Structure 1
Amino acid sequence: MVADMGRAAVHDIAARLGMDPREVASRLVALSATGLPLLVGVECDPARLRAALAARPVYPPPQPYPAQFAGYAQPGPSGPHSVPSGPYPPPAPSNPFPAQTGPPSNPIPRPISTWGPPQTASWARGDQPPQDLTVPTTRTDRTNGETRTGAVGATLLTEGLEGERLAIQLVEVVDPADYLFTAAGYRLQEGERSVVVHTELTNRGGVPFQTLPDLYLVLVTPDGKTIQKAPVSLSSRPPYRIGVAPGETAGGHTVYVVPESTVITSVRWSPRPDEQSRTLTWTVEP
């Protein structure tokens, strides 16, 4: 999947494979340590990161990397998804990872469909996720006095996995958004359309929200199926950045590519697909 995409965020790979982002990151780092031309990077907002660190307890500094990883600490291209273009360091003389004698206990599942080249709709398709982990919910509209359902324009209240107090507003649903999609340099295949969802997340508590706000923001069809976001961003409608500090509000635009005949009945947000008690749902009128 990484070879097909070229550049990808860990959370996007995890969402497509239905895996925990920490597991995906661990496997990517392990692969890069074997000498493969793979660079696992990270991106942050320096000012907000320093502010978040200043508000947290001080932990002992991490131990230095073993000698076999020293070759990967050289400066390289900036950005969270950069792939080095120069010669790659030779494999480590000793394998720091134990040999596996049997089949992997948790093999990475194969994606359902083959992704096409970048800048085409087949690369950005969001209507065929490898694994759909979200299921329709049958809960009441209110939990702990907080509204969990509403219409476009409504601000709904919920909590994050770490106890963050969140207020999320579905500002706008642009459907179709083909003109925005093509203006960014992408191409739709015949029989497809694009949808852009604009949301804003406010952190009302004192705990930083440390993940991508629209990581599990999905479209829902009349039969309860969900459509994952496409791994593209629009220059005219900026995407989310990772993390929202206490007291701050962040906005972002999420892009989807769906079959032209698909009907969207609602937009659903959840901190994790299996955490239904904190899910928010906005009804979308035809």
Structure 2
Amino acid sequence: MIYLLLTLFGGFSGVTTVLFGFGGGFVVVPVLYGVLISGAGGALAEQAAMHVAVATSTCVMIVNAALSTRRSARAGTLLKAWLWPLAGFIAAGSLVGAVAAGFVSGAALRVAFVVYLAITIVDCLCRRGFVSSTFEGEPHRLSRWSVGPGGIAIGAIATFLGVGGSVMTVPLLRRCGLSMTKATSMANPLSLPVAVVGTATYMLTGLGNTGLGAGYIGYVNLGAFAALTLGAWFGMRLAARWVGRIPDQLHARAYVGLLAVVLVSMVLV
């Protein structure tokens, strides 16, 4: 029953990956955290629930982001000028975030997740240029500060929380003048460095925690990864037909609305 539930939510994560560039993190982390603290994974997994949820999320994100990036590349919606060198700085920050998470308790990690979500929602709603784009003319390039220090900060925060970089890259690119369709398409390739670096680090840092059992590589729960990834594959295929068909302002409002749903779920769990 648990794996069926994870497969269903994996499908939802696939939909959000394609339409919102989430990569799965904002769906996977709350769901898997809730499953583990219920005792389904055993006492030791319950104690390390947030670390396992974040680590497994980054692993699922590798598959989700890679498949969605491939689809976007074929559709011609990727803008290379915005991908590099930002992706390189995000990768550097990802290593910092993943290592830092290993020194923080699960409770603190959960609070950080909730606080960051709340800040992001308020920023999207209160600062001009996201829900209703006010930019006219051709999109402008990112500044050096946004690419360098900004990219490192994006990678560190995203990997620390296991949410990919979309929650920062989508608003950033949106305010550069990109439509929601293009901004969310770009979020997935920019989340790949977070996913790869984060997964490798969580696997290595969790190797000493042998009490989690044979179904783990470090902090990554392999059974949950398989169920979530299977569901995500179906979800991405389902959502592909909606790409580019959602009105821009509605797309932006739905993005913020989903973040609010995740925030509430994490507060109530």
Given the two structures, how large is their TM-score scaled by the length of structure 1? 0.25
Larger proportion of helix: 2
Structure whose alpha-carbon radius of gyration is higher? 1
Between 1 and 2, higher relative CO (CA 8 Å, sep ≥ 6) is seen in 2
Relative to total residues, which structure has the larger strand share, 1 or 2?
Answer: 1
